Amino acid sequence: MIALQGARVCVTGGARGIGAATAAALVERGATVWIGDRDLDAATATAERLGRRARAVRLDVTDVDSFAAFVDTAAATGPIDMLVNNAGIQHMGRFVDQDLAGLHRELAINLGAVVTGTHLVLPGMIERRRGHIVNVSSMAGKVTTPGIATYCASKFGVVALSKAIRAELAGTGVTMTTILPAATRTDLTAGVRLRLQPTLEPDDVAAAIVGSAGHGRGEVTVPRHLAPIGILEDLIPSPIMWRLKRFVGGADYGAFDEGQRQAYLDRSRAS
């Protein structure tokens, strides 16, 4: 496994939320962290708050050249020990009502960037027979949720991609963990109806991400007791499951308070 003291770690989407909490937890354990984010000002503020072991780099995870430059910047002082593919966005509402370009961008950030980042760092890790990659998915990667169909597709994709690559990595000394958190109180869930759903703080997810460096297990659900839910969805007849989801999520799939969510939406569209 990866000893975090002295490790070099890259975190995408690290300016806020889960990414910022993860960077803080890594720095606390002695790692040097490169915080990649499109919002360089926010990333810089986070890095300054965390001290000399944190560095901010502008990163557009949908741009291969930008991602490669981010990796090269981190690797300039030595090999990358750990990559946390955390960057993600979430659009809400009925699939048919959403902007097609926005849906493609959601896939590019949530899934395409995981492909890119993993492909960039794996060759060096395999050559050194040492390294750890964490792909942040979601419980939406196990349980379909009406109103965030493309988000679910992207997170299901992260789960499947990680599982297939993990099999290829057997015996290489490189590990890969998929993190599947429940709804987490970040800007991404601002204004979202979370009735009867377990919710987390970013620090809860960060602890699972950082902890994976010490065990390398394939999948970690946060909280752990939700792990069987994906299996239950396949076992429960669809009409019953749809009623359960409507009971939890409300009558309007994908409904949210636009006023509470506006700042997140504006920043997402601007970037």
Is 264 noted as a catalytic residue in this protein?
no
DSSP string, 113-164: HHHHHHHHHHHHHHHHT-EEEEEE--GGGTS--TT-HHHHHHHHHHHHHHHH
- Residue 191: predicted pLDDT: 47
- Mind listing the pLDDT tens digit of every residue in the chain (271 residues)? 899 999 999 999 999 999 999 999 999 999 999 999 999 999 999 999 999 999 999 999 999 999 999 999 999 999 999 999 999 998 888 899 999 999 999 999 999 999 999 999 999 999 999 999 999 999 989 988 888 899 999 999 999 999 999 999 999 999 999 999 987 776 665 445 555 466 779 999 999 999 999 998 999 999 888 777 777 777 777 776 666 666 565 555 555 556 655 565 666 665 5
Contact of 188 with 17, CB cutoff 8 Å = yes
Contact of 182 with 156, CB cutoff 8 Å = no
Contact of 10 with 74, CB cutoff 8 Å = yes
* Domain ranges within the chain, ordered by starting residue: 8-270
d(CA 140, CA 144): 6
Strand partners, 220: 179
34, 67, 70, 151: the catalytic one is: 151
Choices 3.40.50.720, 3.50.50.60, 3.40.47.10, 1.10.540.10: CATH for 8-270: 3.40.50.720
Query: pTM of the entire structure?
Result: 0.87
